[in-house]
């Protein structure tokens, strides 16, 4: 089976080999305070910064999920309150988890409209760069404008289903994060958080130390390339190996954009299937959401499964009327071609 699920998604085909390699190299029982582990963490960070073009001055932390990142930001980065701009299920969940800990303002917007740029209250603005539930993406241009209009606030950006798939301008945000089971093409259980010097200063100033995963402690431990607790060492090793193979993000991003254009082009051609998002300005490059009538959607899923291809279920309330296609770098061109052919030949469902 090849999975087109936008998370957990198809992993790079070399992963089994790297797991074997990790076992042979003693990584599976490696002490997380050992010199070898610190060296691994250091090298992984260097590789991340190089391949994804993350500024040298930024700090990289390893957590276990994007959900943990949401919660840690609410506890350790928000001083008084945050404002959440969102148009889908993941952005809304982030708001809900935050509201359990701190006051937070909701700014919902429609999935066909662009991010509403304005001056907002709150000391942290929370944005979902790529909304995995509905297949929308925020442009770097709008992030830039949002920053200009909110010079004092910190920008926290959930890039779970876009980081390592498309080029991001990290200088436009203070905290970026992603779990690795999406665009990174890795198994779940690890997330990457990228913090700007401004974010570090805020964490220092707030000095929140009540939790095992308080950012203050995490940043302090990372100065020695360590974590507050035993981390997912195998996950970090796999991340390191996959990053070593990865081309520079500029190159990967170009290919992902071309592939996205091919997906949307195909949907424009077929009568039966349509892109769920009509506004080209807000369409995601990494998660393509397809709409059709419910019978047709069922037929696609069945036919695809018979061909050894797993398409992503529509998310939440969009389950009956959409399906999703991950346009992630780990999926092989041959498999993409297979699914494209299948969709092109789709007969009308009776």
Ligand X SMILES: *Cc1c(COP(=O)(O)O)cnc(C)c1O
44 and 186 Cβ atoms separated by less than 8 Å: no
324 and 6 Cβ atoms separated by less than 8 Å: yes
On the question of a cis peptide bond just before residue 315, with omega within 30 degrees of 0, the verdict is no
- Within residues 130-169, the interface with ligand X by CB under 6 A covers 132, 158, 160-161
- We find the least distance from the C-beta atom of residue 310 to ligand X, in angstroms, to be 17
Name the one residue in this structure whose structure tokens are 């909304």.
131
221 and 84 Cβ atoms separated by less than 8 Å: no
- We find the least distance from the C-beta atom of residue 345 to ligand X, in angstroms, to be 30
Does 179 participate in binding ligand X (rule CB under 6 A)? yes
Take residue 68 and report the two structure tokens written for it: 């943990």
Among 59, 75, 76, 128, binds ligand X (CB under 6 A): 128
- We find the least distance from the C-beta atom of residue 314 to ligand X, in angstroms, to be 14
* SS3 label, residue 194: strand
- We find the least distance from the C-beta atom of residue 161 to ligand X, in angstroms, to be 4
- We find the least distance from the C-beta atom of residue 7 to ligand X, in angstroms, to be 5
Does 65 participate in binding ligand X (rule CB under 6 A)? yes
Stretch that binds ligand X, among 23-31, 39-47, 59-67, 308-316 (CB under 6 A): 59-67
Name the one residue in this structure whose structure tokens are 């790529």.
130
- Within residues 267-306, the interface with ligand X by CB under 6 A covers none
Cα 5 → chain centroid = 13
User: Count of CB atoms within 10 A of residue 293's CB?
Assistant: 14
Does 90 participate in binding ligand X (rule CB under 6 A)? yes
The single-letter DSSP state of residue 246 is: P
Looking at the Cβ atoms of 302 and 319, the one nearer to ligand X is 319
Task: Mark 191-210 with x for binding to ligand X (rule: CB under 6 A) and - for no binding.
Answer: x-------------------
Number of chain positions touching ligand X (CB under 6 A): 13
Q: Give CA–CA dist 192/105, Å, rounded.
A: 26
Query: Residue numbers of the site for ligand X (CB under 6 A)?
Result: 7, 65-67, 90, 128, 132, 158, 160-161, 179, 182, 191
């Amino acid at each position: 089976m090849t999975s087109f699920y936008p998370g957990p998604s198809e992993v790079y085909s070399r992963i089994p080999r790297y797991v074997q390699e990790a076992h042979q190299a003693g990584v599976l029982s490696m002490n997380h305070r050992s010199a070898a582990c610190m060296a691994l963490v250091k090298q992984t960070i260097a590789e991340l910064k190089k391949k994804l073009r993350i500024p040298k001055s930024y700090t990289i932390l390893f957590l276990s999920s994007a959900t943990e990142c949401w919660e840690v930001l609410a506890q350790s980065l928000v001083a008084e309150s945050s404002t959440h701009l969102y148009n889908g299920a993941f952005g809304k969940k982030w708001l809900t988890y935050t509201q359990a800990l701190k006051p937070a303002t909701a700014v919902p917007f429609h999935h066909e409209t662009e991010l509403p740029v304005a001056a907002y209250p709150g000391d942290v603005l929370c944005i979902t760069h790529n909304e995995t539930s509905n297949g929308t993406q925020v442009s770097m241009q709008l992030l830039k404008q949002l920053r200009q209009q909110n010079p004092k606030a910190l920008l926290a950006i959930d890039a779970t289903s876009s980081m390592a798939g498309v080029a991001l301008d990290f200088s436009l945000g203070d905290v970026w994060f992603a779990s690795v089971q999406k665009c990174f093409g890795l198994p779940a259980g690890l997330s990457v958080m990228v913090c700007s010097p401004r974010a570090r200063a805020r964490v220092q100033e707030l000095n929140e130390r009540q939790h095992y995963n308080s950012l203050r402690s995490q940043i302090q431990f990372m100065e020695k390339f360590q974590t507050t607790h035993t981390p997912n060492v195998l996950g970090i090793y796999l991340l390191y190996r996959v990053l070593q193979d990865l081309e520079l993000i500029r190159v990967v991003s170009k290919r992902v954009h071309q592939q996205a254009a091919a997906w949307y082009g195909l949907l424009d051609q077929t009568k039966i299937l349509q892109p769920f998002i009509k506004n080209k300005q807000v369409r995601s490059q990494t998660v393509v959401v397809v709409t059709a009538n419910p019978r047709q959607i069922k037929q696609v899923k069945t036919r695809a499964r018979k061909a050894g291809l797993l398409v992503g279920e529509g998310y939440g309330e969009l389950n009956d009327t959409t399906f999703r296609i991950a346009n992630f770098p780990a999926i092989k061109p041959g498999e993409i071609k297979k699914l494209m052919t299948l969709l092109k030949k789709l007969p009308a469902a009776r």
